[in-house]
Amino acid sequence: MAYPRIIARLDIKAPNLIKGVHLEGLRKLGDPRPFVERYYAEAVDEIVYIDSVASLYERNTITDLVEATARHVFVPMTVGGGVRSVEDARQLLRAGADKVAVNTAALKNPELIDGISRGFGSQCMVLSIQAKRNGNDWEAYMDFGREHSGRSVIDWAREGAGRGAGEILLTSVDRDGTEQGFDLELIRAVTDAVGIPVIASGGFGKPDDAVQALRDGGASACAIAKALHYNKVSIRQVKDRLRDAGIATRTPVPA
């Protein structure tokens, strides 16, 4: 069995690391590179970069950052935001990404999932889903939580997995930036629906939230953004808590 992973998620609006609340009110936090270096030094398991405005502005701005990161950060790197074609995916992979995450373009053209999966392997194809609660269901959103797709998250996750997505990056718009804990019902609903790994994202506030997402939610990984960027928690604290809860992680924490 694969070890559960702790992932640092960095939303990017070039040239800055940014962070919002409910994917809104995007605040600039500065050059992302020192942040990534810190997380790497703290033995983060993976990095996720999301170009937060690429879909919005229909432009990609993140390639330089991916190249720079790939030179000295040697953990898997997922890059998303504005991937509209197999060719876009190829460029990010060539720049040093290990996986690409696709949201808006996949909702508009689901066959893009098949294309990327066939072209580079399903392990490369991360389906990013921005989920917002709607009654007893969740709706998948586009354009960084700004645009309805009308698709149910559960159906969409199933379809995405069926088309060859190797992993789902599941972001709760309701919890993003709030530090109030993950939407466990959402995570559970998706992990029950698909057989592929699910990354819980949106809402991490304290180490115990990671325990809940992994143990109770059935997630394979936890993405943390705000709490790391604002230095409210360290990777070590999260992994220590996981260890105490009997959840082993892969990357050793440096002494």
Partner 1 sequence: MNDDTPTTNENEAPLEAKYGLPREVKFCTRCVISNQRPNSTAEFRHTKDSKKETIHFDAEGVCDACRFVEEKAAIDWDARKAELVELCNRYRRTDGRYDCIVPGSGGKDSFYASHVLRYEFGMNPLTVTWAPHIYTEWGWRNFERWIHSGFDNYLMTPNGRAHRILTRAAVENLLHPFQPFIIGQKSIAAKMSVLFDIPLVFYGENEAEYGNPLKDNKTALRADKFHTAENSLDGISLGGVSGRELVGAYGLSEADLQPYMPAQPEALQRVGTAVHYLGYYLKWHPQGCYYYARDHGGFEPSPERTPGTYSKYNSIDDRIDDFHYYTTFIKFGIGRATYDAAQEVRSGDIERDEAVALVKRYDGEFPTRFADEIFAYLSLPPEEFPEASRHFSEPIMTRETFDALVDTFRSPHLWRQTENGWQLRHTVFDGD
- Judged by CB under 8 A, the stretch of 19-27, 92-100, 114-122, 155-163 that binds partner 1 is 19-27
- Judged by CB under 8 A, the stretch of 31-39, 49-57, 163-171, 226-234 that binds partner 1 is 49-57
Minimum distance from residue 146 beta carbon to partner 1 (Å): 4
Q: Which of 31, 37, 57, 230 binds partner 1 (CB under 8 A)?
A: 57
- Judged by CB under 8 A, the stretch of 18-26, 153-161, 200-208, 209-217 that binds partner 1 is 18-26
Minimum distance from residue 93 beta carbon to partner 1 (Å): 26
The nearer residue to partner 1, 24 or 185, going by C-beta atoms, is: 24
**What x/- string results for residues 26 through 45 when contact with partner 1 is judged by CB under 8 A?**
xxx-----------------
**What x/- string results for residues 73 through 112 when contact with partner 1 is judged by CB under 8 A?**
----------------------------------------
Minimum distance from residue 21 beta carbon to partner 1 (Å): 5
The nearer residue to partner 1, 137 or 147, going by C-beta atoms, is: 147
β-pair type (16-21, 24-30): antiparallel
**Residues numbered 134-173 forming contacts with partner 1, rule: CB under 8 A:** 141, 143, 145-148
Q: Total residues at the site for partner 1 (CB under 8 A)?
A: 21
- Judged by CB under 8 A, the stretch of 40-48, 57-65, 83-91, 154-162 that binds partner 1 is 57-65
The C-alpha angle 52, 202, 89, rounded to 5 degrees, equals 40
Integer angstrom CA distances of residue 64 from 55, 71, 189, 197: 18, 11, 37, 28
Minimum distance from residue 81 beta carbon to partner 1 (Å): 14
The nearer residue to partner 1, 99 or 226, going by C-beta atoms, is: 226
CA distance 173 to 202: 7
Fill in the DSSP letter of residue 48: E
E strand intervals along the chain: 5-13, 16-21, 24-30, 46-51, 77-80, 99-102, 125-134, 137-142, 147-152, 167-172, 198-201, 221-224
Contacts 24+ apart (CB under 8 A), 81-86: 81/12, 81/49, 81/50, 81/51, 81/52, 81/53, 81/54, 81/55, 82/51, 82/54, 82/55, 82/58, 83/54, 83/112, 83/116, 84/112, 85/112, 86/112, 86/115, 86/116, 86/119
Q: Return the half-sphere exposure (C-beta side, CA atoms, 13 A cut-off) of residue 76.
A: 16
Q: Are 78 and 199 in contact (CB under 8 A)?
A: no
Minimum distance from residue 142 beta carbon to partner 1 (Å): 10
Q: Which residues bind partner 1 (CB under 8 A)?
A: 13, 21-22, 24-28, 53, 56-59, 132, 141, 143, 145-148, 178
